[in-house]
Amino acid sequence: MISNTKCECGHQNPVGTVLCEACGKPLLEELMQDSEAPLEMRYEGAARRSQKANPHLIDRIWNFFSSVKVAVWLIVITLVAASLGTFLPQESTILNLHTYEEFHEYYKSEYGRTGEIFHALGLTRVYDSWWFITLLVMIGTSLVVCSLDRVIPLYRALSKQQVRRHWQFITRQQVAYVGDAPQDREAWLDRFAKELKKKRYKVRRDGDALMAEKDRFSRWGPYINHVGLIIFLLAVLSRSIPGWNIDTYISLDDGETEQIPGTRYYVKSEKFTVEFYTDDELPESMKGKLRPKLFNTKAILYECVEACGDPTREPVLKKVKEHDIRVNHPLEYKGLKLYQYDYTPQVKLISVSPKIVNKETGEEYGPFTLRMRDPDLTYQVGPYTLTLRDKFMEFGGFDAEGRPMSKSREPIAPAFVFIIKGPGLPESGETYIYFPRDIDKVIFQQDVLNKAIADKVEIRVSSMEDVEFSEFTSTLNVRTDRAMPFVWVGASIFLIGVAMGSYWHHRRVWLRFDGDKMALGAHTNKNHIGLRREVSGILARSGLPVPENTLDNRRKSH
Amino acid sequence: MSLYELSQNALMASLLIYSASFFFYMIAVGGKKWSNREPQAHAARWGWIGFAVAALGLAAHITFFITRWMAAGHIPVSNMYEFMTMLAMAIMIAFVITYLIYRKALLGVFTLPLAVIIIAYASVFPSEIQPLIPSLNSSWLRLHVTLAALGEAFFAVSFAAALIFLIRVTDYKRTDKSAKAARRWLEFVLLVILIVVGFLGSVFTFRAAGYEAVFTQVETVKTPQGEEQTVTREVRYELPPFVQPHSSEVVSMQPFLGLTEPLFEAPSWMNGVNAGRKLNTIIWSILTGVILYGLLRLIFRKQLGAVIHPVLSDIDPDDLDEISYRSIAIGFPVFTLGALVFAMIWAQYAWGRFWGWDPKETWALITWLFYTAYLHLRLSRGWHGTKSAWLAVIGFVVVLFTLIGVNLVIAGLHSYAGVS
Could you give the angle at the alpha carbon of A317 between the alpha carbons of A313 and A322, nearest 5°? 155
Q: Does A328 touch chain B (CB under 8 A)?
A: yes
What local confidence, expressed as pLDDT, does residue A174 receive?
Answer: 86
- Residue A72 to chain B, least CA–CA distance (Å): 5
CB atoms within 10 A of CB B224: 7
| Contact between B369 and A337 using a beta-carbon 8 Å cutoff | no
What is the SS3 assignment for A249? strand
Question: Residue A509 contacts by C-beta under 8 Å, 6 or more apart in sequence?
Answer: A196, A201, A210, A211, A212, A213, A520, A521, A522, A535
Largest Cα–Cα separation, chain A? 131
Q: Does B410 touch chain A (CB under 8 A)?
A: yes
Share of chain A above pLDDT 90, in %: 27
The B residues from 97 to 126 touching A (CB cutoff 8 Å) are 101-102, 126
| Contact between A82 and B379 using a beta-carbon 8 Å cutoff | no
- Residue B358 to chain A, least CA–CA distance (Å): 8
Choose the most confident range, by mean pLDDT, from A107-121, A318-332, A334-348: A318-332
The A residues from 466 to 485 touching B (CB cutoff 8 Å) are 477, 479, 484
What local confidence, expressed as pLDDT, does residue B416 receive?
Answer: 38
Tell whether domain A163-217+502-551 is in CATH 2.120.10.90. no
Q: Does position A558 have pLDDT exceeding 60, yes or no? A: no
- Is B150:B370 a contact under the CB 8 Å cutoff? no
- Residue A113 to chain B, least CA–CA distance (Å): 11
Could you give the angle at the alpha carbon of A406 between the alpha carbons of A402 and A408, nearest 5°? 160
- Chain A hits for B329, CB-CB cut-off 8 Å, are 502, 526
CB atoms within 10 A of CB B264: 9
Concatenated DSSP letters for B123-190? Answer: TTS--S--PPPGGG--HHHHHHHHHHHHHHHHHHHHHHHHHHHHHHH--SS--SHHHHHHHHHHHHHH
Amino acid at residue number B403: L
Distance CA B217, CA B235 (A): 7
Using a 10 angstrom Cβ sphere, with 0-12 exposed, 13-18 middle and 19 or more buried, the burial of residue A409 is exposed
Would you mind telling me the total number of residues written for chain B in this entry? 420
- A7 pLDDT band, cuts 50/70/90, is confident
What is the SS3 assignment for A222? helix
Could you read off the pLDDT of A22-68 as tens digits, one per residue? 888 888 777 776 666 778 777 777 777 777 666 788 888 888 898 88
What does residue A432 show for φ and ψ, rounded to 5 degrees? -135, 125
- Residue B382 to chain A, least CA–CA distance (Å): 12
| Contact between B357 and A85 using a beta-carbon 8 Å cutoff | yes
**Sign of the dihedral through C-alpha B189, B190, B191, B194:** positive
Q: Does A341 touch chain B (CB under 8 A)?
A: yes
Selected residue of A31, A72, A126 to mutate for chain B interface (largest B Cβ count, 10 A): A72
Q: Does A76 touch chain B (CB under 8 A)?
A: yes
What is the SS3 assignment for B245? coil
Distance CA A109, CA A259 (A): 41
CB atoms within 10 A of CB B214: 16
Q: For residue A462, which of A313, A321, A327, A353 has the smallest C-alpha distance?
A: A353
Q: For residue A75, which of B379, B320, B301 has the smallest C-alpha distance?
A: B379
The B residues from 312 to 371 touching A (CB cutoff 8 Å) are 316, 318-319, 322-323, 325-326, 329-330, 332-333, 336-337, 340-341, 344-346, 348-354, 357, 359, 362-363, 365-366, 369-370
The lowest-confidence range among A316-320, A506-510, B226-230, B314-318 is B226-230
Q: Could you tell me the CA-to-CA distances from A203 to A31, A189, A194, A200, A211 in Å, in that order? A: 29, 11, 9, 9, 6
Q: Does A136 touch chain B (CB under 8 A)?
A: no
Amino acid at residue number A100: Y
- Residue A128 to chain B, least CA–CA distance (Å): 10
Share of chain A above pLDDT 70, in %: 96
For range A513-542, the mean pLDDT: 90
- Chain A hits for B323, CB-CB cut-off 8 Å, are 529
- Chain A hits for B346, CB-CB cut-off 8 Å, are 328
- A1 pLDDT band, cuts 50/70/90, is very low
Selected residue of A18, A86, A150, A248 to mutate for chain B interface (largest B Cβ count, 10 A): A86
| Contact between B318 and A502 using a beta-carbon 8 Å cutoff | no
- Chain B hits for A87, CB-CB cut-off 8 Å, are 409-410
Could you read off the pLDDT of A63-85 as tens digits, one per residue? 889 888 999 999 999 999 999 98
In terms of CA atoms, which chain B residue is nearest residue A174? Answer: B318
Distance CA A501, CA A227 (A): 14
What is the SS3 assignment for A440? helix
Q: For residue B89, which of B40, B42, B55 has the smallest C-alpha distance?
A: B55
Q: Does position A2 have pLDDT exceeding 60, yes or no? A: no
| Contact between B137 and A327 using a beta-carbon 8 Å cutoff | yes
pTM score, whole prediction: 0.85
What local confidence, expressed as pLDDT, does residue B215 receive?
Answer: 85
Which of A42, A96, A292 is the closest to B133 by Cβ?
Answer: A292
Quick one: which H or E segment has residue A432?
strand A430-434
- Is B125:B420 a contact under the CB 8 Å cutoff? yes
Q: Could you tell me the CA-to-CA distances from A558 to A31, A169, A536 in Å, in that order? A: 16, 19, 22
Distance CA A121, CA A111 (A): 14
- Chain B hits for A127, CB-CB cut-off 8 Å, are 357
What does pLDDT average to over chain A?
85
Question: Residue A186 contacts by C-beta under 8 Å, 6 or more apart in sequence?
Answer: A208
Distance CA A12, CA A22 (A): 9
The A residues from 43 to 72 touching B (CB cutoff 8 Å) are 68-69, 71-72
The B residues from 141 to 180 touching A (CB cutoff 8 Å) are 141
Concatenated DSSP letters for B80-112? Answer: HHHHHHHHHHHHHHHHHHHHHHH--HHHHHHHH
Distance CA B323, CA B329 (A): 10
| Contact between A78 and B129 using a beta-carbon 8 Å cutoff | no
Per-residue pLDDT of chain B (420 residues; tens, 9 = 90+): 688 899 999 999 999 999 999 999 988 887 777 767 777 788 888 889 999 999 999 999 999 999 999 998 888 988 889 999 999 999 999 999 989 888 888 888 888 999 999 999 888 888 888 888 887 888 888 899 999 999 999 999 999 999 999 999 988 888 888 888 889 999 999 999 999 899 888 888 888 888 888 888 877 766 655 667 777 778 888 888 888 887 788 888 888 877 777 888 877 666 666 778 888 888 889 999 999 999 999 999 989 988 888 888 878 888 889 889 999 999 999 999 999 999 999 988 888 888 888 888 999 999 999 999 999 998 777 788 899 999 999 999 999 989 888 877 765 434 433 333
Q: Facing residues of A175 across strands?
A: A522, A552
Could you read off the pLDDT of A407-464 as tens digits, one per residue? 877 788 888 888 888 877 888 888 888 888 888 888 888 877 777 777 788 888 877 7
Which of B376, B406, B410 is the closest to A72 by Cβ?
Answer: B376
Q: Does A30 touch chain B (CB under 8 A)?
A: no
Which of A69, A75, A495 is the closest to B333 by Cβ?
Answer: A495
Which of A75, A529, A555 is the closest to B372 by Cβ?
Answer: A75
What local confidence, expressed as pLDDT, does residue A510 receive?
Answer: 94
- Is A382:A389 a contact under the CB 8 Å cutoff? no
Q: Does A40 touch chain B (CB under 8 A)?
A: yes
| Contact between B102 and A529 using a beta-carbon 8 Å cutoff | yes
Q: Count of alpha carbons within 13 Å of A523, Cβ hemisphere only?
A: 21
Selected residue of B351, B371, B381 to mutate for chain A interface (largest A Cβ count, 10 A): B351
- A231 pLDDT band, cuts 50/70/90, is very high
Q: Does A94 touch chain B (CB under 8 A)?
A: no
Q: Facing residues of A269 across strands?
A: A299
CB atoms within 10 A of CB B403: 24
| Contact between A75 and B376 using a beta-carbon 8 Å cutoff | yes
Q: Could you tell me the CA-to-CA distances from B17 to A427, B58, B59, B91, B415 in Å, in that order? A: 96, 9, 10, 15, 33
Q: Could you tell me the CA-to-CA distances from A315 to A267, A322, A374, B178 in Å, in that order? A: 13, 19, 14, 80
| Contact between B134 and A498 using a beta-carbon 8 Å cutoff | no
- Residue A327 to chain B, least CA–CA distance (Å): 6
CA B3 to centroid of chain Cα atoms: 27
- Residue B333 to chain A, least CA–CA distance (Å): 6
CB atoms within 10 A of CB A284: 7
Instruction: List strand residue ranges (DSSP E) for A307-425, in order.
Output: 316-326, 331-333, 336-352, 355-358, 364-365, 370-371, 378-381, 384-392, 395-398, 404-406, 415-421
Selected residue of B154, B326, B381 to mutate for chain A interface (largest A Cβ count, 10 A): B326
| Contact between A341 and B352 using a beta-carbon 8 Å cutoff | yes
Q: Does A86 touch chain B (CB under 8 A)?
A: yes
Could you give the angle at the alpha carbon of A472 between the alpha carbons of A466 and A474, nearest 5°? 130
What local confidence, expressed as pLDDT, does residue A90 receive?
Answer: 85
Q: How many interchain CB pairs under 8 A, A with B?
A: 133
Q: Count of alpha carbons within 13 Å of A96, Cβ hemisphere only?
A: 5
